[in-house]
């Protein structure tokens, strides 16, 4: 696919770009892969990382509904955040003969061999939300703009503390996501590009010392498997060890699972609405939106998972029907082997001021989900 890109000279990210799904189909072996039929006989495999986080349940359910309403058969599997389990589930799906495989990887680097099997079987592969690394056997990637997610978190902290106006010093604690998730680097990079200058100028002070010297060291403050409990105990350790005589003013949490654990640690340490720090997040999970309304989280970056599923369902149909597959970025996501043609969606900042207009009015939550009725 990268070669096709190069051939037709589509190397710029600026415009909305379309690629030939027919060209992609032509590389498939065997049966009538490009017949254009989207009947119930056509199977689509979907491999999701875990049911333990709200967003992946929503993602899987919505994508399954869309694919079924497009007339496809769907094999949807969740892997309990275990890499080996995801690999064997994908192997099983491949044996069932799908046309397209949609994968949100647990460990972005662990799927090369199983995707080689998919390639051999003529199956097209779409990476869902998280990029699959170190393999050429991937056709497309659909995600939200991960760098922008981090930028929105960083800019929120910058604005709320008045850093651009020279305010400070503030006590600040940064966290990053799971070291095996390629997205986590993008989130951190987006935030660090905003915040690191203030760490360097001394407007942000990191009493724990856990401020990576550069973006490349992001994994040093990563929370494995995005576990809320691990984030909680890390925050407890930092508060107990470095905050005896001071309080924390801002915490960069890359997603809502971590923000939940961090809020728990703050609560146990006696923080109240009087001194609650600026606390970021991502995903607009229900418990976190409730925390935003209750003053225990400042913001979250909402990625309307319905839009991502919509986009991926469109890609699947385009591939199966041999139509052009729409992408809008062909430069940002180099997976170590190829630059993967991607479709990036736009994330949105949620604070208590727009919970109603964005999350409720759009039907993402009902008022009663959030205790609003």
Which x/- pattern over 213-252 shows residues binding ligand BGC (rule: CB under 6 A)?
-------------x--------------------------
Residues 195-214 that bind ligand BGC (CB under 6 A): none
State which residue, 53 or 94, has the beta carbon closest to ligand BGC.
53
183 is a site residue for ligand BGC (CB under 6 A):
yes
Alpha carbons 305 and 58: distance in angstroms, whole number: 7
Minimum gap (Å) between residue 332 Cβ and ligand BGC: 15
Using CB under 6 A as the binding criterion, the count of chain residues that bind ligand BGC stands at 10
Among 316, 305, 303, 307, which residue's Cα sits nearest to residue 67?
316
Minimum gap (Å) between residue 53 Cβ and ligand BGC: 5
Alpha carbons 94 and 100: distance in angstroms, whole number: 9
**Which of 42, 55, 175, 309 touches ligand BGC by CB under 6 A?**
55
59 is a site residue for ligand BGC (CB under 6 A):
no
81 is a site residue for ligand BGC (CB under 6 A):
no
State which residue, 43 or 225, has the beta carbon closest to ligand BGC.
225
State which residue, 226 or 364, has the beta carbon closest to ligand BGC.
226
**Which of 99, 107, 137, 283 touches ligand BGC by CB under 6 A?**
283
Minimum gap (Å) between residue 255 Cβ and ligand BGC: 4
Minimum gap (Å) between residue 111 Cβ and ligand BGC: 14
148 is a site residue for ligand BGC (CB under 6 A):
no
53 is a site residue for ligand BGC (CB under 6 A):
yes
**Count of Cβ atoms closer than 10 Å to residue 110 Cβ:** 17
State which residue, 218 or 226, has the beta carbon closest to ligand BGC.
226
**Which of 58, 119, 130, 185 touches ligand BGC by CB under 6 A?**
130
Minimum gap (Å) between residue 253 Cβ and ligand BGC: 10
Residues in contact with 149: Cβ distance below 8 Å, sequence separation at least 6, in sequence order? 186, 187, 190, 282, 301, 303, 347
**Which of 208, 255, 318, 335 touches ligand BGC by CB under 6 A?**
255
State which residue, 25 or 183, has the beta carbon closest to ligand BGC.
183
Minimum gap (Å) between residue 74 Cβ and ligand BGC: 21
Provide φ and ψ at 332, rounded to 5°.
-80, -30
145 is a site residue for ligand BGC (CB under 6 A):
no
End-to-end CA, the chain: 50
Residues in contact with 83: Cβ distance below 8 Å, sequence separation at least 6, in sequence order? 106, 107, 110
CA atoms within 13 A on the CB side of 31: 10
Alpha carbons 187 and 88: distance in angstroms, whole number: 29
Q: Exposed, middle or buried, 355 (CB in 10 Å: 0-12/13-18/19+)? A: buried
- Can you give the binding site for ligand BGC, defined by CB under 6 A? 53, 55, 129-130, 181, 183, 226, 255, 282-283
């Amino acid at each position: 696919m990268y070669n096709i890109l190069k051939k037709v000279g589509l190397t710029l990210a600026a415009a909305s770009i379309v690629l030939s799904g027919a060209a992609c189909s032509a590389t498939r072996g065997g049966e009538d892969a490009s017949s254009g039929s989207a009947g119930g006989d056509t199977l689509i495999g979907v491999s999701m990382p875990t049911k333990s986080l709200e967003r992946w349940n929503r993602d899987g359910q919505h994508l399954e509904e869309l694919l079924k309403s497009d007339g496809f058969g769907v094999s949807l599997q969740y892997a309990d955040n275990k890499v080996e389990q995801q690999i064997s589930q994908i192997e099983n799906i491949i044996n069932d003969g799908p046309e397209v495989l949609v994968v949100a990887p647990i460990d972005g680097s662990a799927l090369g061999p199983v995707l080689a099997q998919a390639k051999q079987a003529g199956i097209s592969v779409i990476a869902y939300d998280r990029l699959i690394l170190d393999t050429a056997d991937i056709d497309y990637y659909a995600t939200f703009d991960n760098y922008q997610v981090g930028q929105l978190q960083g800019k929120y902290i910058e604005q709320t503390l008045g850093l651009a106006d020279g305010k400070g010093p503030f006590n600040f604690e940064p966290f990053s996501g799971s070291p095996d998730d390629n997205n986590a680097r993008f989130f951190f990079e987006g935030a660090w590009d905003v915040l690191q200058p203030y760490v360097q100028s001394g407007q942000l002070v990191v009493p724990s010392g856990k401020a990576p010297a550069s973006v490349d060291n992001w994994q040093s403050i990563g929370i494995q498997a995005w576990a809320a409990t691990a984030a909680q105990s890390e925050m407890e350790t930092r508060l107990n060890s470095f905050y005896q005589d001071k309080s924390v003013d801002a915490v960069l949490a890359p997603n809502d699972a971590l923000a939940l654990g961090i809020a728990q640690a703050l609560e146990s340490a006696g923080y109240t609405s009087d001194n609650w720090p600026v606390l970021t997040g991502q995903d607009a999970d229900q418990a976190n939106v409730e925390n935003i309304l209750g003053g225990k989280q400042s913001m979250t970056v909402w990625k309307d998972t319905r839009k991502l599923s919509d986009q991926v369902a469109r890609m699947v149909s385009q591939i199966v029907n041999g139509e052009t597959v729409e992408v809008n970025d062909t430069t940002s996501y180099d997976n170590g082997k190829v630059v993967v043609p991607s479709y990036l969606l736009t994330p949105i900042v949620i604070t208590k001021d727009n919970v109603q207009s964005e999350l409720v009015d759009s039907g993402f939550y009902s008022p009663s989900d959030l205790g609003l009725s």
